[in-house]
A and B are shown apart, each in its own frame.
Chain A
Amino acid sequence: MLSRILVPMDTSSHARHALTYALENHPEAEVTVLHVVGVPSMMMGEAVGLTLEADLEAAAVDRAAPVIERAREIAREREREIDTIVGIGHPARNILERAPDYDAIILGAHGADSGRVPHRFLVGNIANTVVGRSPVPVTIVR
């Protein structure tokens, strides 16, 4: 029985499927959604924009709002409560740093940007990295 599940999400449909899957298949579990902002990109626009903000935490929460909102909506539709976390920087590192606090990770196969070459070069394949290094079981959802 899994009691604590981490669901890392971005704007992709795979991520939403992962959350739906987690909620439907683990009705008793405590589900935490993690969204990472300021992910490395070609011109580092978002990352630099975040660091220049006076209040980094408020800015990060602000930028994460659409994804977090969407996640809450999905949970509401299934009458569930979820916890949400906002991280900054490298998605895979964020996920792996928190992994020990959970019993399992459920994540989407592809992120919104994972088809783009700069993203693959700068960020890498998140699902692959997590599967390869996670100390807890990982489920990949399409």
Chain B
Amino acid sequence: MVETVLVVGILASIFVGVNIGGSSTGIAWGPPVGAGIVKKTTAAAIMTVFVFLGGWTVGRNVMNTLSNNIITIDLTLSAGVAVLVFIGLGILVANIFGVPVPTSMTTVGAIAGLGLATGTLNHQTVLRIMSWWIVTPIIGFWIGGVIGRYVYPEVNRRVQIKTSDGPLLAVDSNGTIPRPVLGPNTTRSELASTTVVLLIGCYMAFSAGASNVPNAAAPLVGGAGGLQPDIAIVLATLAIGLGGFTIARRTMESVGNELSDIPLLAALFVMVTASTITTILSWIGIPISLVMATVMTIVGIGWGRATRPITFRDAVTQEVEYTEIVPGAITAEGMVGERTPPIGEDEPKEVLDAGELFNPKAVVKYVSMWIIGPTMSTVLAYGFFTLVPGVV
């Protein structure tokens, strides 16, 4: 019986891991792959290594929260497997409808549902986790806002990320000891920027491991017949790696496509911010979604940039011709050849307002999307564990 449960659990864990691997590899490596800096296979290989490091170190704190702190009793193997199946179902639904479900939040929701059904919910821990879930998107949004408004324009003026043809590095075998030299078209700054891009990808992979390995691993640990934490972490890493090599090819195209609309430099800011938020929260044992941190930072950057302080000229124009400006409109034909008229001449009648791209209503919609997933998983798990109490 225990063996059967364990086998089902391992299969569910692999399913969850592969899917996590697909989505997080897409986010961590979509921009560098899209920019032609690394190949998809290389990205998947590096991803696997750093996911393991993240899961093995910082991830343990999150694992501890999931298996010991959300409910006052230890998570048994059979209950853990049931929780894994719920996470898997959530991912399945997400895949079918194309909506990214925050896996970490779904996991907490499912375990909390179990706690509610059995009266073992540790309210204090859950409140602590939930308050971080409320604060984190706001933090991500504001950091993004500051970057978009003040930091990005400055850095963008000074830094250029270029990729040249030919290999980045070559081997100079003329001397007695072969040593690496710059490739035929490589400049020093290209080598530096490529290195930075790779390092940031590794950092994001690390944070993906810290936050996501526990989702696939924690439910398998604990109780009689459960796996050792180390083995569960290795298993989850392998599953995530498998996802990185297989379905991530597709997600790197879909997510990568979305992200490749963003300049690489901005994408790097997003990655550093989201990874840092995710790593710090995982460090203090709070399960957090890497995808959520990423999206909120992106939206923040866009909002910060779109609402940047208007220049003196704009302000004057707005006052004088306020009634004539129709936000969000230009005539495509009229645009050619009459861009930015010198001061003193008439402004084009209609002016595009970047603020149109980021109205508060849209931001609220994003946030509500993250509430639906965990709520659903809590309700479903509560229903299941109430109807089938024998599993616990």
Residues of A within 8 A of B (CB): 38, 40-52, 55-58, 60-61, 64, 68, 83-90, 93-94, 97-98, 116-118, 121-122
B391 contacts partner chain A, Cβ-Cβ < 8 Å:
no
Are A84 and B331 touching (Cβ within 8 A)?
yes
Partner of A47, one of B98, B302, B332: B302
CB of B28, distance to nearest CB on chain A (Å): 13
Residues of B within 8 A of A (CB): 97-100, 148, 152, 156, 255, 257-263, 266, 294-295, 298-299, 301-302, 305-306, 326-333, 335, 339-340, 352, 354, 356-359, 362, 365-366, 369
Most buried by B among A43, A85, A86: A43
Query: How far apart are the CA atoms of A46 and B362 in the complex, in Å?
Result: 14
- Knowing A44-B298, A51-B358, say if A86 contacts B305 (CB, 8 Å): no
Query: How far apart are the CA atoms of A48 and B100 in the complex, in Å?
Result: 19
Beyond A46-B258, A50-B357, 12 additional contacts (C-beta under 8 Å) are: A42-B98, A45-B262, A48-B299, A51-B148, A51-B358, A52-B156, A84-B331, A84-B332, A85-B330, A86-B330, A86-B332, A88-B357
Return chain A residues, CB-CB under 8 Å to B255. 43
Top 8 nearest A-B pairs (CB, nearest first) are A45-B258, A89-B356, A49-B261, A48-B302, A45-B261, A117-B97, A43-B258, A47-B357
Are A52 and B305 touching (Cβ within 8 A)?
yes
Are B330 and A57 touching (Cβ within 8 A)?
yes
Return chain A residues, CB-CB under 8 Å to B335. 57-58, 61
Are A55 and B339 touching (Cβ within 8 A)?
yes
Partner of B330, one of A44, A45, A51, A61: A61
Can you list 20 A-B pairs with a CB-CB distance of less than 8 A? A42-B295, A43-B294, A44-B298, A44-B299, A46-B261, A47-B302, A48-B301, A49-B263, A52-B263, A56-B354, A57-B339, A58-B339, A84-B333, A85-B329, A88-B352, A89-B357, A89-B359, A93-B356, A97-B328, A122-B365
Are A87 and B97 touching (Cβ within 8 A)?
no
CB of B152, distance to nearest CB on chain A (Å): 7
Query: How far apart are the CA atoms of A9 and B260 in the complex, in Å?
Result: 24
Are A117 and B261 touching (Cβ within 8 A)?
no
Are B354 and A94 touching (Cβ within 8 A)?
no
Query: How far apart are the CA atoms of A93 and B295 in the complex, in Å?
Result: 23
- Knowing A61-B330, A90-B359, say if A49 contacts B339 (CB, 8 Å): no
